[in-house]
Structure 1
Amino acid sequence: MLLGRFTRVVYENDGITVQFITACEQEKTQLFLLASNLTDSALYFPYPVLDNRAQEHVMREEHWRFSEALAHTLDRDEQHFREHCIALLQSRLTPGAQLLDPACSTGAFMASIARALPHTRCTGADCSSSMVDQARARHRLPNLEFHHRAAQATLEPAAECDVMFLRFLNAEVMSRDQAQHLLVLLLKQLKPGAMAIVFGHTPVLPNIGYWAGVLDLNLMSSLAARPGQLELFECYVLQSPTD
């Protein structure tokens, strides 16, 4: 418990109450530092957001149509992911490495990667034509291209990439069943030595550790924190074994 020592859960007609003994600031700081230094640490979110029918809450399709307000929010909220991924990959990739984002949204994330890693070839795809149109108009870089297609239609590019970013297998974006299906579908395409980096604005839905074992992938880490920042966020890094 990041808030303190867990005592019990109480189920009531109006919902669930989690009871705990609040930790002091020093204890919380120690917990964050300890977790960030343990390779098997992971963040776990046990309770999904539910709609008024007590089903998993999933944003409607129109929510993902491009707007300046949405672009600003997504851009602001993913800054820590960009910084971490750039630092992680800078010394790991050889010239010509291919990077793929099968659900690139506004394209800002892939554009930041392409600028920071100019020796790579970056590709973004999205099922929203309005997002792809804006991505193409806003982010014109020689090592970056965008395509209009659904994530499940990127199997061939996924089989060729060296790094695949999975930023959409998350709560409120899709259901748990959909997320699990797409995760397995895409991870099965990884070529030997390729990496998959899984994160997002909301909790990651599939059990990444379980599927890493099933698919014989090396789970290198499950969470991250930027240097000098007292923070923790989900960021699963998987790698396909070499021959």
Structure 2
Amino acid sequence: MTDSLRGRVGIVTGAGRGIGRAIAANLAAEGMALVLISRTGAQVRQLADELAEQFGTRCLPAAIDVTDHAAIERVMMHAEQQLGAIDLLVNSAGIVEEAPTPLWLTDPDVTWRVVETNLRGPMLMAHAVLPAMIARGRGHIVNLGSRTRAATLTGGYTGYAVSKRALTALTESLAPALQNTGVVVVDVLPGLVRTGLTTSMPVWDNVTEWNSGSDTARVVADVARGCYDERSGEVIDATQN
């Protein structure tokens, strides 16, 4: 396979289901060893076993909350010991409010929990992998963004909208700081993919045509190979590839 990812190591958060699972499966198929992170241990343990059996790749499942700094540090230590240096981080973990509710009618702790998962999580993960990537002079970080159309249409998914737009700002903030380091950070927009998250949102109940999670998975693999035209910090739209 041209530009094979065999021998490289990646981390995928939110790997237990949805787009994260599709990304992990595609990277494993190309030979990448993986750290599979999810809050649900059974999901990532099963996925790790499946990918190891199907593709012969090494997989390390980790059931942690991406907002837990200490847990991330422990996983990173084990990952580097067992798999080697991290070449790719995919920040796919994300949650949304249970229902579209105006901010003043919500429990602010619930809203903030969404922001923490969708923004603090990627920040902590990037903080964990960047020093070693910069020291080696190579690496890629992919943040799965969103057009947050559901929040625009309903006015009720405040935490999701704020966190996803802030995630793009995080990418844009990191990019100039990483210039000339050999490390590249990009946003990838998956489009509207049928997942547990999107189907939980009534605003999409009448949707009949969905984007494919496999398209996003292929784009992420291309980024890992360095096959992209966009500069660091810019957005890659998976629906256009």
TM-score (norm 1): 0.45
Higher helix share: 2
Larger Rg: 1
Higher strand share: 1
Highest RCO, 1 vs 2 (Cα 8 Å, sep ≥ 6): 2
